[in-house]
Chains A and B, each alone.
Chain A
C-alpha cells in the first residue's frame, strides 16, 4: 500500500493540519519509512484471533447519576486563546467560546 502525496494531503486535511507542498514531500518520505515498518504485520496470519483493546479483561464501571461538578467557567476560560486576527483579547464573550462563523 504505497503512499502518495495525495494521501498525505487527504490525511492532513482529515487531521486539520496544514501541510505545504514541500512539507508534504518530506512527510511522504518519512511516513513511507514508517509504513514499511508497519507492513511487517501483514506476514502474520491473524485469522480467528480476538482483537485486544485493553490489557485487562474487565468491564466498564458505572457512575451514580449524581451532580458532582460545580460551575468553573471563569476558571476554565482563563485559558482561552487570544482571539487572533489582530485582537489579543481572549476568544470568549458572554461566557461563550468564540470561533470564526460556523456555516451549516
Chain B
C-alpha cells in the first residue's frame, strides 16, 4: 500500500477497500517507527490528522469524492496551516501556531486530503542539505549519513521513505528538484505564479514557487490539479483557466525535441551522474525524441545573480521577525534596539543571518546599482537564453544536481560549495520557468553506496502538462521511480 500511486490509493479508498483512517494510520505508524531516525517531520498532530481522515471517510461514504480525498499528504513546514505549529525550520517561529491557512492548504482541505504533518526544512528554505534547520538535519533514506538535499529535505525524505503518500515542497533555487534528485523521486517546480504564494512563508518572493513532491509524474499531475490555480490574494498569481495536468500523460513522445544545454554537461558535473543522464537521454531517443544541442550561455552567472537577488529579497522579507507581535523575543534586553538585535541574533541560524547580511549589504547605499540592479539585468539575459533555446526545442534536459547526495557536514562550513549544488536549477527560478526532476538511475559513491540520480526536465512557461507527459512516458518504460530505499519496508 505504501508504494501505491495516488491514483491507486484513490481507487482503493473509493472502492472502500481501505478507509482513509486506516491508510492514514499506516503512515502515522511508519512515521512513529522511522521518523526518530530520519527526522523528516517537525510537527505531527495525530488528533487533527485522524479527524481529517474521518471526515474524508464520511465524504467518501457520502459519495462526495475528489481524486485526493482521504489521501495523507505531508506539508512542508513553510505553509501556514491553521492551528498547526508552523516554524519554517526556525527557532524564530518555534512557537508559532498559524492562525490562518495558506492557499494550498485550503485547496488540499477542499479536496478532502489529509494533512499528515509538517515536514522539516532548511531554515526559511535557505540551504541545499537541510542542515540549517533549527530542528536538526534530515537523513537521506538511501544512506543515513548523507543529506537529503534541501531546502525541502523533510518532504524529500518522507516521500523517499514512504512516510507519506505525497508531499509538498517549495523551490526558490532548486529546493524541490535537488532533493528529488538526491532522494530519488519526482518533484515539480511549476511556472512562477501557477501556485499561489499566499500563506507560504516568503524567502525570495520573486523566485519562490510551491510544487508537488511524489513518487511519479502521474502523482505530481494529480497534486498539481489541487495546488495550482488563480488566487486573488497573491498579486503574482497567474489568472489562467484551471487546467487538468493529467490530460497529456498518455501522449506518445514521437518527434519530441529535447534540448541538451552544453553548459549542463561541462566541468563540475560528477562523471557518474553524467553517465546516468546520458543513459536517460538514450532512453528518450528510443521513445522517439529528437536530441538537439543547445546553449544556455549565461548559466554560470545564475549563481552570482541568485546570491544577490534572493538574499536581497530575503533580508527584507525577514525583517518582520522582530520579536514584537509573534516569534522569538530575547529573554533579556535593555531597550528596543537591544531587543531587536538580540531577538534576531538568537532567533535566526547562521546561514539565515549570513543571507540577511549579504542582502542588506547589496541593497545598501552606494552598492545598489553594482549589485542589485546589475543582477536584475543579468537575470533578463538568463531568461532570454531560455527564450532562444525554446525556439529550437520543446523541453530541455540535463542533470538536476551536479552530484549525488553528499555526506552531512561535508559542505556545511563552505557556503560557496553548498551554493554550487544549485547550478543547474537556479536559472529556471530566475526565468520563472517550470522544472522537474525524475529518478533516472543510480551512481556509486566513493564508499560504494548506490545513490539516486535525477534527470531534470525544464519546460517553457505553462508547459507543465507536457513536462509531466515527458516524465510519465519515461516512467512507463523504466522502473527507477518505483525503487525504494532498503531497510524501510
Interface residues of A (CB under 8 A from B): 1, 3, 7-8, 10-12, 14-19, 27, 30-31, 33-35, 37-42, 44, 46, 49-56, 58, 60-61, 63, 72, 75-76, 78-85, 91, 97, 99-102
Contacts and interface: CB of A to CB of B under 8 A. Distances in A.
Contact of B329 (A1, A91, A102): A91
Interface stretch (B108-116, B274-282, B288-296, B318-326): B318-326
A37 B332 contact: no
Contact of A33 (B328, B357, B416): B416
A38 to B, nearest CB: 5
22 contacts: A11-B364, A14-B364, A15-B315, A15-B357, A16-B340, A16-B341, A18-B345, A31-B357, A33-B414, A41-B304, A41-B305, A41-B371, A42-B370, A46-B381, A50-B380, A52-B377, A55-B193, A56-B238, A60-B235, A79-B96, A81-B328, A85-B333
B381 A75 contact: no
Contacts, number: 182
A55 B96 CA distance: 32
Nearest to B238: A56
B453 to A, nearest CB: 26
A34 B433 CA distance: 26
Contacts of B433: 55
A55 B307 contact: no
Interface of B: 95-97, 99, 192-193, 206, 232, 235-236, 238-239, 300-301, 303-305, 307-308, 315, 319, 322-342, 344-345, 348, 353-354, 356-358, 360-362, 364, 367, 370-371, 373-381, 383, 414-416, 419, 430-433, 461
A100 B339 contact: yes
A81 B354 contact: no
Given A15-B360, A55-B432, A79-B97, 8 more contacts: A1-B367, A11-B361, A15-B357, A49-B381, A51-B380, A55-B383, A78-B99, A99-B339
B380 A16 contact: no
A53 B99 contact: no
A30 B416 CA distance: 9
